[in-house]
Amino acid sequence: MSESIQALRQSFRSYVKKMKSYGEALDVMYWDLRTGAPRKGVEARSEVIGELSAEMFKMSVSSEMGRFLEQLSEPGVFEQLDAVDRKLVEECKKEYDRSIKIPPDKYQAYVVLTSQAESVWEEAKEKADFAMFQPYLEKIVAANREFIELWGYAGHPYNTLLDMYEPGMTTQKLDQLFADVRAKLVPLVAAIGQSSNVPDTAFLRQTFDVTQQKAFSLYILKELGYDFEAGRLDESVHPFATGLNPGDVRITTRYLPHDVTSALFGTIHECGHALYEQNISQELIGTPLCTGTSMGIHESQSRFWENMVGRSRTFWKRYYPKLQELYPDRFEGVSVDSFYDAINVVQPSLIRIEADELTYNLHIMIRYEIEKKLFDGSLRVADLPAYWNEKYKEYLGVVPAHDGEGVLQDVHWAGGAFGYFPSYSLGNMYSAQIRSTMEKQLGDLDDLVDRGEFSAVKTWLVEKIYRHGKLLTPNEIVEGVTGEPLNPEYLLDYLGKKYGDIYNLN
Amino acid sequence: MSESIQALRQSFRSYVKKMKSYGEALDVMYWDLRTGAPRKGVEARSEVIGELSAEMFKMSVSSEMGRFLEQLSEPGVFEQLDAVDRKLVEECKKEYDRSIKIPPDKYQAYVVLTSQAESVWEEAKEKADFAMFQPYLEKIVAANREFIELWGYAGHPYNTLLDMYEPGMTTQKLDQLFADVRAKLVPLVAAIGQSSNVPDTAFLRQTFDVTQQKAFSLYILKELGYDFEAGRLDESVHPFATGLNPGDVRITTRYLPHDVTSALFGTIHECGHALYEQNISQELIGTPLCTGTSMGIHESQSRFWENMVGRSRTFWKRYYPKLQELYPDRFEGVSVDSFYDAINVVQPSLIRIEADELTYNLHIMIRYEIEKKLFDGSLRVADLPAYWNEKYKEYLGVVPAHDGEGVLQDVHWAGGAFGYFPSYSLGNMYSAQIRSTMEKQLGDLDDLVDRGEFSAVKTWLVEKIYRHGKLLTPNEIVEGVTGEPLNPEYLLDYLGKKYGDIYNLN
């Protein structure tokens, strides 16, 4: 590499690192706001966040960034770069090309709009008043449709939104994936509904001392290999994980006094996200590649640890005695098998975030159908509540009593995060497919869990997925690991076996 | 005000607000590092802090800032500004004039030097090895002497350092203040040493459950009027207060299992700092005037609440029963008067931060004498340990066994914070003088405390001091409140009466 290219590369790296510094500062402030920042300081803090976000955005579309990308993309230069620098140039260019197309005043107005919309949504949900939220949602959809025109798109307009969360994903692929899943899932859910085996879950809803719940969450985190020297566990209204850098990946959970598993599975879910981010290669630190490659792959890891490990029978053979020890008088006469059945009960319901592992995918498909229609113009915002209720009836057999438990339940749309929902189901599909390869190489997962060999599981995932951060695309990851593109059959196979067993369907 | 001046003023305000935003982001990150950030993320975090600090410094000396200050300082413009804008221009100009004189590479090198020196100091203190720290301290002193030449000074070179923490303070004033204090304090300490009344303190050093200590700290904070909607209490190795904005002023303390008062008095001390910052006028938010006017006035408030309120007899008449309730078997046979005597025991000692209210001032005077000599060149860094020990012998009658409990005990010099120490004693003087005026207007403080009328005390302090932030100078504050410049007689009078009573000296 010539000295001048070396110098150019260095300057670019410094520039990118500075941007990433703003990102970490912002992430610390968001974390802080969600884990106990005092109420009266929130307004001033929002302005601080606004100032730094604007600065970071400016840097991402500055003429300086434009020059870096132009010079580094020249074939004679680009081919001299190593893999990390190449990917870095590509990622920054993708971001630059998107952002530069949106006029700054439109972007600014959109940021203000979504920020206001989130407050309005909160109140509208509380009051179950869709009309209150409707004008905001209409503006947000309109703005996104305008952005899509500016960005351009191939195939369906919605594709360009999908690509933001799952690079390379399209409606064409998703239509097929979801059709396959739905074809097997709907009859499976119906069969479960007719099964005579209805797990008893009443014992999960007693009073459970929160201090003990916390102790148990911390204990399980240690067992799973979460590194407490590179993270911490706090409390927040909605559990989340935030990777400031691989040495500082924090998670939160929420302890409910009348629900012994909510905090625990929240913890394990976020632990999955955190194991991913704690184990990204050091060489990616200080770059935008130091994160998960997509929301789908990220969710595959949270769901792998939460559902395939944490909701497995062998996991509870191992840890149920510990839980019983913490609550000596709460599980009398409840066998580990009854406990296992109870934490895996299937029940079509209205609220996505409370849904079981199986019906969860149906909640996602409804949102996917709606988003697709909003962006090809075949569904108006005003008609959303009716369409929502109709779909819930069709897919899940339940109808919301009001919009608060219906169309208003999720915050995503208020924040403009269209295209995000499919990640959750993609995560389920990815995790089952990855698990299948893992078992070919390491042996049966249930056996590994039975023996507490989480370290072997983690090491395998670090090697195959975590260390790469965003250096590989989701498709490169899944094909690299499993030898084929995303295939929903693994998920269907896994769900069929697991729930067939619990509900005696065979 | 003309439209063009109005526009100029607005742009300046936006510019200043942006700088302040960086300041808040940095303060959140410092708070986070000191209250439990994971160890492995510290290195990456330091780089983030470095990037944002550098950016903030650049803004403070930018040509844009230079133009703002030049245009706004023009007499025809300046006279049209209101009091807040005027003060803002003056403050930014003071900062600009100082910073612009230091070549950026020298400043950068100094930041690196002090950052390294703090790590070296930590190890040197641990090992009681002054020689290890000496070369760093020599460089820091040399750099400061060079800066002083670049900044310029009036009278003693040390004056320009004093002014950074206590605007308007000089060695001429301090020599007189400290001479007055020392003349009465040294004989008072001697008389106490010969008193037959030696308070028993053994009962303070039993085991005290930390959860209860925390509950008591929280209880007292509420009693004193600390606003928990505008702050929070956390734990850190060294207690501190940080005012992110008036709606978010956080404090920390440290719970020692074998010391029931350490955490409590730490909490009350930081509460004093916090009451100040929580009550700064809203109109100063987003400006550098939204902070205490000087370290001396700030310390006057922490010390007022800690010592004059928290270590008073009436305070414990009120709260001792509550403490006894929390620890039913720890204070048997200990009367409230014995408890009061114990928490006010006077004992010349080696460590500043553990010193009692009275001898504390002698620790400060030693450091003041040393700093003065370092900057007029009459004391070499190499001779510091011997000089330190000699002074401790002379002022306090004690001699350190090693430099770890001697010259290496404080972090201040490693960080280059010369001129800071006098603030602590100035705080004591200010607080006694302000108290005297308060009592003329509100009645005896002990009576107010006896009746739990903390709200009246706080309201008075908000009106006289807190709300003004940095809009008034320390001297304007003290003269405005008390009608005279700083006068140490109030402190001496207060200490004489309080300790004369405890030790039966009259």
pLDDT at residue B48, as a whole number? 93
pLDDT at residue B283, as a whole number? 96
Under-50 pLDDT residues of chain B: none
- Is residue A299 a known part of a binding site? yes
Q: Which of B166, B270, B306, B371 is catalytic?
A: B270
pLDDT value at A432 more than 90: yes
- Give yes or no: B270 in active site: yes
Q: Chain B contacts of A226, Cβ < 8 Å?
A: none
Q: Which of A270, A277, A306, A371 is catalytic?
A: A270
Contact A38 B285 (CB under 8 A): no
- Is residue A269 a known part of a binding site? yes
Radius of gyration of chain A (CA): 23
pLDDT level of residue A115 (50, 70, 90 thresholds): confident
pLDDT at residue B77, as a whole number? 96
pLDDT at residue A112, as a whole number? 86
Q: Shortest CB distance from A28 goes to which of B28, B55, B228? A: B28
pLDDT at residue A1, as a whole number? 78
pLDDT tens digits, B438-465: 999 999 999 999 999 999 999 999 999 9
Binding-site residues on chain A for chain B (CB distance < 8 A) = 17-18, 21-22, 24-26, 28-29, 32, 36-45, 47-48, 51-52, 55, 227-232, 244-248, 250, 285-286
**Looking at chain B, which residue has its C-alpha nearest residue A234?**
B36
Contact B230 A22 (CB under 8 A): no
pLDDT value at A372 more than 90: yes
pLDDT tens digits, B68-94: 999 999 999 999 999 999 999 999 999
User: Rounded distance, CA A58 to CA A55, Å?
Assistant: 5
Chains A and B: how many Cβ contacts under 8 Å? 117
Q: Chain A contacts of B279, Cβ < 8 Å?
A: none
Contact B248 A28 (CB under 8 A): no
User: Rounded distance, CA A230 to CA A276, Å?
Assistant: 12
For B328, other C-beta atoms within 10 Å of its C-beta total 8
Q: Chain B contacts of A28, Cβ < 8 Å?
A: 25, 28-29, 32
pLDDT value at A474 more than 90: yes
pLDDT at residue A506, as a whole number? 74
Neighbouring residues of B312: CB distance < 8 A, sequence distance ≥ 6:
B445, B446, B449
Mean pLDDT, chain A, whole residue set = 96
Q: Shortest CB distance from A247 goes to which of B28, B40, B227? A: B40
Q: Chain B contacts of A38, Cβ < 8 Å?
A: 228-232, 247-248, 250
Q: Is A252 helix (H, G, I), strand (E, B) or coil?
A: strand
User: Rounded distance, CA A337 to CA B67, Å?
Assistant: 75
Q: Chain A contacts of B48, Cβ < 8 Å?
A: 21, 24-25
**Looking at chain A, which residue has its C-alpha nearest residue B39?**
A229
Neighbouring residues of B269: CB distance < 8 A, sequence distance ≥ 6:
B239, B302, B303, B305, B306
For B158, other C-beta atoms within 10 Å of its C-beta total 23
Q: Shortest CB distance from B38 goes to which of A29, A32, A231? A: A231
Q: Is B243 helix (H, G, I), strand (E, B) or coil?
A: strand
Contact A47 B286 (CB under 8 A): yes
Within its chain, how far is the Cα of A57 from the centroid?
23
pLDDT value at A339 more than 90: yes
ipTM of the complex: 0.93
**Looking at chain B, which residue has its C-alpha nearest residue A55?**
B18
For B61, other C-beta atoms within 10 Å of its C-beta total 19
Averaged pLDDT, A136-160: 97
User: Rounded distance, CA B391 to CA B378, Å?
Assistant: 15
Q: Chain B contacts of A40, Cβ < 8 Å?
A: 227, 229-230, 246-248
